[in-house]
Amino acid sequence: MLNELYEKVEAVLNGLDVGGEQSHAFEGEIGILKEILSYPEPVQDDWDECQRREVLSQKLRRLAVEAAGVLIPLPKNPVTQWFDGTYQDTNIDMYFEEVDLARLLRFIIDVGLSYDAESSDSKATASQMKATLREQSPDHLQKSVELSLLTENGQLWIQPKGYGEKCTEDGEGSPVGMEIWQGHFRLVVFDDINSEEPKIIDLENAKESSRINSD
């Protein structure tokens, strides 16, 4: 139902935003429709691009889960020939093969959307480390959880073995993350594997400069 609604909104937008005097006359309405559809503004800087790539990566990860088991036909020809007009040239043979859509989406995430800014100051690098958590209560059955910690695009994501998110496959979810968003240092927690909505904990009040002295 929601997809149908978006399609109808987009159809109205396309009918209004045809350029020239009509687009100018309906400028306000066009802007509202674009906002509804979340049409982004042009990229402002390296940080903005990095954030958008991360958002796209998250959306594609969810799509990859939905695409599990779906095969699509793609040309065997080099990718450049998909877009340079070769695809429409009837004199050139195009051979197709079935490709796993979920694997293709993950490849785009891992390779195509990996951020590589030219500036070394803003370049987003990824690194990963391992750690192990152990039960701290001496009165409880001992338990340990292996952790994978990934720092990427200025964010920290924690992947406890055996724990995940609703929209990721088993073994790939990171239910705990830390980031800075709109100037706020915050914790992002997906505490229910059957829910897509995370809990956001704003940590700004934990700043040392916010301490109230009792003296």
Query: Which of 92, 122, 152 is the C-terminal boundary of a domain?
Result: 122
Same domain for 21 and 55? no
List, in sequence order, every beta strand (DSSP E) within the chain.
71-75, 96-100, 127-134, 144-152, 155-160, 176-181, 184-189, 199-202
Q: Tell me the residue type at 93.
A: D
Same domain for 131 and 199? yes
pLDDT tens per residue across all 215 residues of the chain? 445 656 777 777 787 787 888 778 778 777 777 776 665 667 676 666 776 777 777 778 778 888 888 888 888 877 777 777 776 677 777 788 888 888 888 888 777 766 554 433 434 455 678 889 999 988 888 899 999 998 877 888 999 999 999 888 888 889 999 999 989 999 999 999 998 888 999 999 999 998 888 76
Does the pTM surpass 0.75? The reply is: no
Residue at token pair 């690098």: 125
Number of domain units in the chain: 3
Q: Is the Cβ–Cβ distance between 37 and 9 less than 8 Å? A: yes
**The predicted structure's pLDDT at residue 70:** 87
Same domain for 59 and 118? yes
**The predicted structure's pLDDT at residue 177:** 92
C-alpha dihedral (124, 108, 65, 81), degrees to nearest 10: 170
- The secondary structure of residue 91, as a DSSP letter, is T
Residue 152: Cβ within 10 Å count = 17
Q: Which domain holds residue 92?
A: 44-122
Nearest-angstrom CA–CA distance, 41 and 29? 16
The CA radius of gyration of the chain, in Å to the nearest whole number, is: 23
- Listed residue (55, 154, 157, 47) closest to 113, CA to CA: 55
Whether residue 215 is contained in a domain is answered as no
